[in-house]
Amino acid sequence: MSPTLSDILVSLKSEYQQRMEANHYQLPFLTAETLCHEKLYLETDLLSRIIDEDPTLLAARASDLIADTNEQQNPSVGAIISSNIVMAALENLLAIAVESGWLDVDDEGHILVDEKELDPQREYPVTANYSQSELAQANLSKRTTSLLTKIFQAAEQEYLDQLDSEAHDAYQLALQVSGNHAIFAPEDIAPLVAENPLLLGLRSDDVLDEEMFSGDPPAGIIISGHLTHILLDQLLEIAESKGALAHDGEGHLILPEGDDDNPVIH
Q: Summarize pLDDT for 207-239 with one digit per residue, the tens.
A: 777 677 878 999 999 999 999 999 999 999 999
Both 140 and 108 in one domain: the answer is: no
Both 85 and 155 in one domain: the answer is: no
137 and 219 in contact (C-beta within 8 Å)? no
Both 112 and 169 in one domain: the answer is: no
Question: How far is the C-alpha of 157 from the C-alpha of 182, rounded, in Å?
Answer: 15
pLDDT 10s digits, 67-80: 999 999 999 999 99
Helix 147-165 and helix 170-180, axial crossing angle in degrees, nearest 10: 140
Question: Is 147 inside any structural domain?
Answer: yes
Both 169 and 108 in one domain: the answer is: no
Both 36 and 74 in one domain: the answer is: yes
Both 26 and 106 in one domain: the answer is: yes
Domain boundary among 87, 117, 147: 117
Share of the chain above pLDDT 90, in %: 79
Both 39 and 141 in one domain: the answer is: no
Question: At 29, which helix (H) or strand (E)?
Answer: helix 28-39
Please state the φ and ψ torsions of residue 203, each to the nearest 5 degrees.
-125, 165
Beta bridge partners of 104: 112
Both 23 and 113 in one domain: the answer is: yes
Question: Is 122 inside any structural domain?
Answer: no
Tell me the whole-structure pTM to 2 decimals.
0.91
Eight-state DSSP code of residue 112:
E
At position 12, the amino acid (one-letter code) is L
Give the range of the structural domain holding residue 45, as residue numbers without chain letter.
3-117
Cα–Cα distance list, 154 to 100, 159, 190 (Å): 57, 9, 19
Query: Please, what is the average pLDDT of the chain?
Result: 91
Question: At 105, which helix (H) or strand (E)?
Answer: strand 104-105
Both 7 and 110 in one domain: the answer is: yes
Question: Is 195 inside any structural domain?
Answer: yes
Question: Is 253 inside any structural domain?
Answer: no
pLDDT 10s digits, 166-177: 767 899 999 999
Question: Is 252 inside any structural domain?
Answer: no
Question: Is 163 inside any structural domain?
Answer: yes
Question: How far is the C-alpha of 5 from the C-alpha of 40, rounded, in Å?
Answer: 10
Question: Is 105 inside any structural domain?
Answer: yes
Question: Is 144 inside any structural domain?
Answer: yes
Q: Which residues contact 117 (CB under 8 A, 6 or more apart)?
A: 27, 28, 29, 30
Number of domains observed in the structure of the chain: 2
Both 12 and 47 in one domain: the answer is: yes
Q: By mean pLDDT, which of 12-26, 80-94, 240-254 is the weakest?
A: 240-254
Both 102 and 142 in one domain: the answer is: no
Eight-state DSSP code of residue 146:
P
20, burial (CB in 10 Å: exposed 0-12, middle 13-18, buried 19+) = buried
Question: How far is the C-alpha of 40 from the C-alpha of 46, rounded, in Å?
Answer: 11
